[in-house]
Structure 1
Amino acid sequence: MKLFNKKYHKPGTKPGTVKVGENTVFHIDLYDYNANDLKIEHNADVATCKAFIQSDNCTWIHVQGDPSAEAIKLLGKDLGIHELYVEDIINVGQRPKVEVNDEQIFLILNLPFKENGRAQVDQVSLFLTKNTLITFATGKVNPFEGVIERLENKIGKLRKQHTDYLMYALVDTIIDFGFPMLETYSEQIQKLEDELMETKNERILGSIHELRRELLLIRRRLWPQREVINELLRSDGNPLLNEVTLMHYRDCHDHVISIMEMLETYHEMTSGLMELYLTSVSLKLNDVMKFLTIFTTIFIPPTFLVGVYGMNFNSDASVANMPELNWEYGYIAVWCVIAVMVSGMLYFFRRKRWI
């Protein structure tokens, strides 16, 4: 996951400038429905979408992938999407935000997921008018398969509600994508804790650092979504949002808070793992230094003793010149003295609980 992944134009460019991307692989799916009927158009073109926009049914137009600038401009022109909104849709990596007025609501949210073991974030843009909802999602896989299944099979009350309820269902899906990711992070943290208790190699330190970095970046991308839901909840009286839908958005708000709290907790836990690793390495180093210090201390007195008797002064020249050199059991006596010194120091260290 990149530290900087926001697309932007050259500073000074006219607002609303849309740059054609190199990869423009996308498809448009259209769902037009009411309580009794559902019509689906896969790989629809802009002209088909325009025809359904005028119907009294609820119309959902979903654009998946990296759309071309021409398609975005046509949709924007037909639906009255402001040029600045079009620019935000094309230039992915935007901060989650919401623009609310009596005629339209524009949302940008971030959808987190794991791909090949790495954290990824797709941008999802939602544009709501009276009877029409248009969504734009980056990535190759449609994240709203569950909502589509509910529409097709008449599960729940989705088909009986207006487009604002459909937008709630999509927002709830985007937010709930955070829970599987949090479960993955929980398993990673638990695994790292178990490995840290068993071994203390540098690979674990790298894994902890990578996990901590991912959590920090995911937190940065998801944190503003609380403000988005709060802004929707403050839109009481807006003709595009009825009271029943606003009650469901309160549940979304609870989910957002829960996800952010768990992200904060996991980030603190990874910081604790980092400190635990460094502490364990420091304790291991202290144990090594302690052993070496005790080992050196034990052998200092015997080294001093044998060093003194290694001078070999002539005892015949003076009685003060090491008369012990002529003792019959002098060698054994020296070893006895060394054994007593070592035993005494070991006993002393044991009494002090140093060993």
Structure 2
Amino acid sequence: MKLFNKQYSQPGTKPGTISQSDEVNYTVSLIDYNKTNIVDHTVLELATCRDFIENTNITWIHVQGNPSAEAMITLAKGLNIHELHIEDILNNGQRPKVEINEDQIFLILNLPLSDEGVTKIEQVSLFITKNTLISFCSGSFMPFENVIERLMANVGKIRKLPADYLMYSLIDTTIDYGFPLLEAYAETIQEIEDELLNTRDRAILTRIHALRKEVLLVRRRIWPHRDLIADILREEENSVISKNTILHMKDCYDHVESIKDTLESYHEMTQGLMEFYLTSVSLKLNDVIKFLTIFTTVFIPPTFIVGIYGMNFDSSISPFNMPELGWKYGYITVLGLMAISITGMLIFFKKRQWI
């Protein structure tokens, strides 16, 4: 389970110091568009992207993977991106946040993904000015294919509205990736519930604990998105965000609330599964103890009888020394007495509903 992948600077490092990544593997794509025309460049060097920013079109630059510090510094110089933002982009695992200035906005989002049962969280960073949006996504998975398809097909409002609407589309897409993860959690919870009804395998407790921990961590990483969007909704006068986009951001807020509430429910359900497992194990243990107790109790009277008649006092010395030892039917009588005592105790237990 991959939930955190953050590179920490050494204690005492100057703020804004960019960490060098051990793995440099990234691609850069650029889409330059307006209402009527669109140009798509699939692979570019970061230094050449500055040539497209000078025009009046909307320019979307997307960096996928782990760029080098040198490449990020080159891009930052052309776009006036602060060194602290560059540090946040390169050091994955940041808490979702938004920093709104008069002419630019910087956001960090967490992208939850489920890959063959393994949950991982990638970081999405957005930097937007009036006509330019730069997005960064760690890892190899490209989450914005549907947005690109809408742009290329000129479907919806993206091509007709400013760059802030493109920002909204990317935020909405990132948040909506939480819903498939919720479906995966729901299936896992249902599967564990079915197994609990059929077995008491100790391995189930390990699965429940791992699932509960995973839901808790994802919930903690998704929760700050609500505050992030709330900060954007409070912006009334900003040259980057239009009132129309703020209205659409309310839909993102509703999605975050839905995901947060569902994760909260799943967290409680996993806690319930753990309690159900422990209760079922306790009930099984009680049944075992109950059976052993009844078994022991039933054989106490016969053991008592056998103990008495195992003393073997000679009846010829005294008439009080076990006269039954010389009785013709003594052995059969003692066996019958033991059988009667066992049967009587079983009937007594049955009437008291102990068995």
Post-superposition Cα deviations, 1:140-188, rounded to whole Å, max 9, x if no partner, equal 1211000000001111111111100000000000000000000000000
Partner of 1:249: 249
1:117 Cα deviation from its structure 2 partner: 1.5
1:237 Cα deviation from its structure 2 partner: 1.7
Q: Between the two proteins, what is the percent identity of the paired residues?
A: 58
Residues in 1 aligned to 2:119 and 2:2: alpha-carbon distance in whole angstroms: 10
What amino acid sits opposite 2:302 in the alignment?
P
Matches within 5 A, 1:72-87: 72-87=72-87
What amino acid sits opposite 1:127 in the alignment?
F
Residues in 1 aligned to 2:174 and 2:96: alpha-carbon distance in whole angstroms: 12
Residues in 2 aligned to 1:99 and 1:290: alpha-carbon distance in whole angstroms: 64
What amino acid sits opposite 2:281 in the alignment?
V
1:114 Cα deviation from its structure 2 partner: 1.1
Partner of 1:21: 21
Moved over 4 A (4+): none
Partner of 2:68: 68
**2:269 equivalent to 1:269:** yes
Contact 2:30 2:41 (8 Å CA) reproduced: yes
3-state SS in 2 of match to 1:9: coil
1:3 Cα deviation from its structure 2 partner: 6.9
Partner of 1:303: 303
Matches within 5 A, 1:28-47: 28-47=28-47
3-state SS in 1 of match to 2:299: helix
Contact 2:109 2:225 (8 Å CA) reproduced: yes
Matches within 5 A, 1:187-336: 187-336=187-336
Residues in 1 aligned to 2:51 and 2:170: alpha-carbon distance in whole angstroms: 23
Residues in 2 aligned to 1:176 and 1:130: alpha-carbon distance in whole angstroms: 25
3-state SS in 2 of match to 1:347: helix
Matches within 5 A, 1:114-193: 114-193=114-193
Residues in 1 aligned to 2:323 and 2:314: alpha-carbon distance in whole angstroms: 9
1:193 Cα deviation from its structure 2 partner: 0.1
What amino acid sits opposite 1:288 in the alignment?
V
Residues in 1 aligned to 2:212 and 2:64: alpha-carbon distance in whole angstroms: 31
**2:353 equivalent to 1:353:** yes
What amino acid sits opposite 1:79 in the alignment?
L
What amino acid sits opposite 1:149 in the alignment?
E
3-state SS in 1 of match to 2:286: helix
Residues in 1 aligned to 2:351 and 2:242: alpha-carbon distance in whole angstroms: 78
Residues in 1 aligned to 2:179 and 2:116: alpha-carbon distance in whole angstroms: 18
Give the gaps of 5 or more residues in structure 1: none
What amino acid sits opposite 1:165 in the alignment?
Y
What amino acid sits opposite 1:229 in the alignment?
I
Post-superposition Cα deviations, 1:292-343, rounded to whole Å, max 9, x if no partner, equal 0000000001001011101111000000000011111111111111111111
Residues in 2 aligned to 1:162 and 1:240: alpha-carbon distance in whole angstroms: 9
1:2 Cα deviation from its structure 2 partner: 5.4
Contact 2:2 2:119 (8 Å CA) reproduced: no
Partner of 1:340: 340
State how many pairs are aligned. Answer: 355
Post-superposition Cα deviations, 1:334-355, rounded to whole Å, max 9, x if no partner, equal 1111111111111110111000
Residues in 1 aligned to 2:141 and 2:196: alpha-carbon distance in whole angstroms: 36
Residues in 1 aligned to 2:329 and 2:41: alpha-carbon distance in whole angstroms: 108
1:4 Cα deviation from its structure 2 partner: 5.6
Post-superposition Cα deviations, 1:37-94, rounded to whole Å, max 9, x if no partner, equal 0001111122321011111011000000000111110111111111100000011110
What amino acid sits opposite 2:7 in the alignment?
K
Matches within 5 A, 1:47-66: 47-66=47-66
Aligned alpha-carbon RMSD (Å): 1.0
**2:107 equivalent to 1:107:** yes
What amino acid sits opposite 2:61 in the alignment?
I
Residues in 1 aligned to 2:196 and 2:341: alpha-carbon distance in whole angstroms: 41
TM-score normalised to structure 1 length: 0.98
Give the gaps of 5 or more residues in structure 2: none
3-state SS in 1 of match to 2:197: helix
The verdict on how the C-alpha distance between 1:50 and 1:4 changes in structure 2, with shifts beyond 3 A counting, is closer
Residues in 1 aligned to 2:103 and 2:243: alpha-carbon distance in whole angstroms: 17
Residues in 2 aligned to 1:230 and 1:85: alpha-carbon distance in whole angstroms: 21
Residues in 1 aligned to 2:285 and 2:10: alpha-carbon distance in whole angstroms: 53
Contact 2:3 2:121 (8 Å CA) reproduced: no
Contact 2:128 2:164 (8 Å CA) reproduced: yes
